[in-house]
Amino acid sequence: MDETGKNQKSEPKGGASEKLTKVKDSELTRAEKEARVKKIIKILRWQYPSPQTALRYRTPLELLIATILAAQCTDERVNKVTPDLFQKYPTVEAFARAKQEELEKDIRSTGFFRNKARNIISLSKKLVEEYDGQVPDSMEELVKLPGVARKTANIVLASAFKKAEGIAVDTHVRRLAGRLGLSQETQPEKIEKDLMTIVPRADWLDFNFLLVEHGRKFCQAKKPRCEECVLRELCPSAQKVSAARLAGRKK
């Protein structure tokens, strides 16, 4: 039984149950990383058959606002704030007319509320003045908006427009990319560049959501559940954790 009380599915063939040669990540070639990431994606798609953002939205604008609010905040908290927020400000024009101090109060529980409120008002004004009130559907235009970097743009493009121009790198993706040996970089844009060279483009839309799901349920920051993880045979970090725990039991 897994943590939801449902019976665990048998692991897919060619997946985590398949024995692999233990090698250090630094010794892996690009071709080996490409082969491994395909196996990782295959297993994660089996584990999480309907990958999608946890943020609740109805329009591209709502998703854009929710994604900005989600910075340094949980999706769960954002989902508690946005129903009332979107009722109070139902259009981009309403957000553009919002008073800074009032909007700050409305989103205060999401943290960093001053900067978020400032960016939401500024980008809404820009959308009204330069984009006819519509959220643009390209990376080039989205990153011109105040407070919108590649991570936010990638999430909006993937979820609202089904467009893959990159891979969103949030805290979960950054953590798992390092642990899985897919990137040794620490800066989001450099991690994204590494991932874009080894992840098949057909999987770019879902890759962030797959890693986020897995990061939340198994590969947590402080106490990863490596012994239960379906990626344990593909993960150099899991092998180290397992070895350390085994050594600790023998003491």
Q: Is 194 a catalytic residue?
A: no
Cα 134 to the chain's mean position, in Å? 24
Q: How many CB atoms lie within 10 A of CB 54?
A: 15
Of the residues 116, 151, 194, 206, only one is catalytic, namely 151
Q: Is 151 a catalytic residue?
A: yes
Nearest CA to 177 out of 245, 242, 240, 231 is that of 231
Pick left, alpha or beta for residue 78 (phi over 0 → left; psi -120 to 50 → alpha; otherwise beta).
alpha
Of the residues 25, 170, 194, 206, only one is catalytic, namely 170
Q: CA-to-CA distance for 207 and 177, rounded, in angstroms?
A: 11
Q: CA-to-CA distance for 15 and 72, rounded, in angstroms?
A: 33
Which positions are catalytic? 151, 170
